[in-house]
């Protein structure tokens, strides 16, 4: 493992203490593929992925405005920085809100410096959240998570001329990997399958696996991909997740499809959006069934009402028993 701080990648490797801003700007010799780009390709189109890529998107002139402040997002970003111990610096805004001129000036200044801006009341919640999270992780038995090892570890590798990069939230070792997810929604166990699919945990784990299998082939097949899903409101409940082989298998399939599309787009320098042909979608079966059930229920009640009033039933539907 390289231990010196870096801002550029000139050869495949596992890097600790890599500058986060440099990583997100893509420090590889050529535009590199990431799991986030894979998700955009699969969920939307190559055209959308190109606009999301820091090296391929057209340059937009003008000053960048501060993003809209969302409490849940600010708490999650701060909690992530506190839990991992790396990443963007957290700038505490000691204000009740952002409406005053002083607060607005502070926010714009810190945003321009690349810092996570957060109100004091929300920072306190992030601190409580992380403290409670560590207590719950100890109960699970994951005491090494976000404690022993390194955070925001960057891996970069090549495959047939293509560059790939990924950032791992926490690497206790090359076989024990953790990712910290925060949410303003429920992270109860029964919500995890849908939450994981929507967020692309399968693709993310497959990407980490793929890179580490290139860089550390001796441990291929032994890796554990663990996700820590925590709510950002009291009691800051946490669900520990370890992905099964079924999740990894699906992640590998999706990832390979995205890589194939990426390779083709780079080779031909063509980034298509959606198909330029009329779509003839099938009507969702569940929606059709729901409407038909509603029709039957409505007709039944109309018939009952008509008979109760001594009128002829308006709907052509038999009532029970006749």
CB contact burial 90-110 (16+ within 10 A = b; e otherwise)? bbbbebeebeeeebeebbeeb
d(CA 204, CA 36): 8
The domain boundary residue, chosen from 140, 165, 191:
140
Strands in 162-173's sheet, in edge-to-edge order, are 13-15, 150-159, 162-173, 176-183, 224-231, 238-242
**7-26 mean pLDDT:** 94
Backbone angles phi, psi at 47, to 5 degrees: -60, -40
- pLDDT tens-digit readout, 115-171: 889 999 999 999 999 999 999 999 999 989 999 999 999 999 999 999 999 999 999
Which of 106, 140, 174 is at the close of a domain? Answer: 140
Q: What is the pLDDT, as a whole number, of residue 89?
A: 82
Asked if 120 and 264 sit in the same domain, the reply is no
The sign one gets for the Cα dihedral 166, 164, 49, 246 is negative
Residues 76 and 225 in one domain: no
β-strands 176-183, 224-231 pairing = parallel
Q: Which residue has the tokens 């189109």?
A: 45
- CATH assignment of the domain containing 40: 3.90.320.10
pLDDT digits (tens, 9 = 90+) for 226-257: 999 999 999 999 999 999 999 999 999 999 99
Cβ count within 10 A of residue 132 = 17
Average pLDDT, integer, range 292-297? 86
Compute the average pLDDT of residues 282-296.
90
Containing structural domain, residue 242: 1-60+142-280
Spatial CB neighbours of 265, under 8 Å, sequence gap ≥ 6:
46, 49, 50, 271, 272
194: which residues sit within 8 A by CB, 6+ positions away?
Answer: none
Q: How many domains does the chain have?
A: 3
Q: What is the 3-state secondary structure (H, E, C) of 17-75?
A: CECHHHHHCCCCCCCCECHHHHHHHHHCCHHHHHHHCCCCCCCCCCCCCCCCCCHHHHH
What confidence tens digit (pLDDT) does each residue in 47-102 have? 999 999 999 998 776 555 667 888 888 999 999 999 998 877 889 999 999 999 99
Q: What is the pLDDT of residue 294?
A: 85
Residues 136 and 173 in one domain: no
State the pLDDT at residue 4.
54
In a shared domain, residues 204 and 255 = yes
Are 6 and 43 contained in the same domain?
yes
- Of the given ranges (9-23, 56-70, 277-291), which has the lowest mean pLDDT? 56-70
Mean of all residue pLDDT scores within the chain: 91
2 pLDDT more than 50: no
pLDDT at 3 over 60: no
Contact 181, 126 (CB under 8 A): no
**What was the pLDDT predicted at 301?**
72
Is the pLDDT score of 19 beyond 60?
Answer: yes
For residues 113 and 27, membership in a common domain is answered with no
Per-residue confidence band for 305, with pLDDT thresholds at 50, 70 and 90: confident
pLDDT given for residue 205 in this prediction? 98
Widest pairwise Cα distance in the chain: 88
The pLDDT, as a whole number, for residue 48 is 97
Long-range contacts of 44-48 (CB under 8 A, 24+ apart): 45/271, 45/272, 45/273, 45/274, 46/261, 46/262, 46/265, 46/270, 46/271, 46/272, 46/273, 47/271, 47/272, 47/273, 48/273
Mapped onto helix, strand or coil, the DSSP state of residue 231 is strand
Q: How far apart are the first and last CA of the chain?
A: 80
Predicted local confidence at residue 288, as pLDDT: 92
Looking at residue 151, what DSSP letter applies?
A: E
- Rounded Cα distance between 138 and 117, Å, is 30
CA distance 48 to 42: 10
Q: Is the pLDDT of residue 1 over 60?
A: no
* 17-26, 222-231, 276-285, range with greatest mean pLDDT: 222-231
Q: Please give the pLDDT value at position 35.
A: 97
The answer on 22 and 128 residing in a single domain is no
Q: pLDDT digits over 91-106, tens only?
A: 999 999 999 999 999 9
Structure tokens, 322: 């006749």
- 130 and 252 share a domain? no
Same domain flag for 287 and 311: yes
7-38 burial, b if ≥16 CB within 10 A, otherwise e? eebeebebbbebbbeebeebbbeebbbbbbbb
pLDDT at 319: 47
Same domain for 186 and 256, yes or no, is: yes
Element (H, E) at 171: strand 162-173
- Does 121 share its domain with 146? no
**149 and 267 inside one domain:** yes
Instruction: Choose the final residue of a domain: 84, 118, 140.
Output: 140
**Chain centroid to CA 81: how far?**
16
pLDDT value at position 314? Answer: 60
């Amino acid at each position: 493992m390289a231990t010196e701080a870096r801002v550029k990648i000139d050869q495949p490797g596992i890097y600790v203490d890599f500058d986060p801003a440099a990583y997100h700007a893509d420090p590889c010799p050529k535009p590199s593929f990431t799991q986030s780009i894979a998700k955009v390709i699969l969920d939307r189109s190559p055209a959308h992925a190109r606009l999301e890529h820091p090296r391929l998107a057209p340059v937009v002139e003008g000053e960048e405005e501060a993003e809209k402040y969302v409490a849940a997002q600010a708490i999650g970003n701060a909690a992530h920085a506190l839990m991992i111990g790396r990443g963007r610096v957290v700038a505490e805004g000691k204000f009740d809100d952002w409406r005053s001129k002083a607060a607005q000036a502070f926010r714009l200044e810190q945003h321009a410096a690349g810092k996570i801006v957060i109100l004091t009341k929300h920072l306190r919640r992030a601190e409580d959240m992380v403290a409670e999270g560590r207590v719950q992780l100890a109960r699970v038995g994951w005491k090494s998570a976000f404690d022993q090892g390194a955070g925001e570890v960057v891996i970069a590798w090549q495959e047939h001329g293509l560059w790939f990069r990924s950032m791992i939230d926490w690497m206790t070792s090359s076989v024990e990997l953790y990712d910290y997810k925060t949410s303003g929604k429920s992270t109860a166990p029964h919500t995890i399958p849908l939450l994981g699919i929507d967020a692309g945990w399968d693709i993310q784990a497959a990407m980490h696996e793929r890179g580490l299998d290139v860089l550390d082939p001796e441990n291929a097949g032994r890796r554990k991909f663990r996700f820590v899903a925590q709510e950002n409101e009291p009691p800051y409940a946490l669900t520990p997740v370890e992905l099964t082989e079924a999740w990894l298998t699906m992640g590998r399939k999706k990832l390979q499809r995205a890589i194939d599309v990426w390779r083709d787009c780079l080779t031909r320098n063509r980034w298509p959006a959606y198909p330029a042909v009329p779509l003839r979608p099938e009507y969702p079966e569940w929606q059709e069934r729901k409407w038909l059930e509603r029709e039957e229920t409505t007709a039944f009640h109309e018939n009952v009402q008509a008979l109760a009033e001594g009128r002829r039933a308006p709907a052509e539907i038999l009532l029970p028993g006749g």
